[in-house]
């Protein structure tokens, strides 16, 4: 299964270039100017930044909960909560 996926990933990536009738070209690339309209590009970037911030906050909160669960019987946890 891993070998099939390993071979399939470059095919999926290059399918946009090979079969341009089935797919639109890439809207955002590292080497070219973005072809996406700025009225959609800026909200896309802001939402990516916001989603990344949300994930970071959720990881921090989850870590805090795990620490409190693990150290639940300690006196510092009882003083904090």
Tell me the pLDDT tens digit for each residue of 45-81.
999 999 999 999 999 999 999 988 888 888 888 787 7
Euclidean distance between the first and the last CA atom of the chain, given in angstroms as a whole number? 48
Is the pLDDT at 25 greater than 80? The verdict is no
* Structure tokens given for 7: 């071979």
* Mean pLDDT computed over 4-26: 80
User: What is the rounded CA–CA span in Å between residue 59 and residue 55?
Assistant: 6
Q: Is residue 28 part of a domain?
A: no
> In sequence order, which ranges of the chain are alpha helices (DSSP H)?
2-18, 38-70, 75-80
What's the pLDDT at 19?
78
What's the pLDDT at 52?
98
User: What is the rounded CA–CA span in Å between residue 36 and residue 30?
Assistant: 13
Domain with 64, as residue range(s), is 40-70
User: What is the rounded CA–CA span in Å between residue 38 and residue 22?
Assistant: 25
User: How many structural domains does the chain have?
Assistant: 1
Q: Is residue 50 part of a domain?
A: yes
Is the pLDDT at 23 greater than 80? The verdict is no
User: What is the rounded CA–CA span in Å between residue 70 and residue 74?
Assistant: 9
* Mean pLDDT computed over 7-30: 79
* Structure tokens given for 8: 């399939």
Q: Is residue 66 part of a domain?
A: yes
Q: Is residue 11 part of a domain?
A: no
């Amino acid at each position: 299964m891993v070998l099939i996926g390993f071979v399939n990933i470059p095919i999926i990536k290059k399918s946009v270039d090979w079969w341009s009738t089935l797919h639109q070209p890439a809207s955002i690339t590292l080497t070219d100017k973005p072809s996406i309209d700025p009225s959609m590009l800026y909200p896309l970037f802001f939402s990516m930044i916001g989603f990344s911030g949300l994930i970071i906050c959720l990881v921090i909160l989850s870590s805090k909960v795990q620490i409190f669960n693990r150290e639940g019987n300690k006196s510092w946890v009882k003083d904090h909560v």
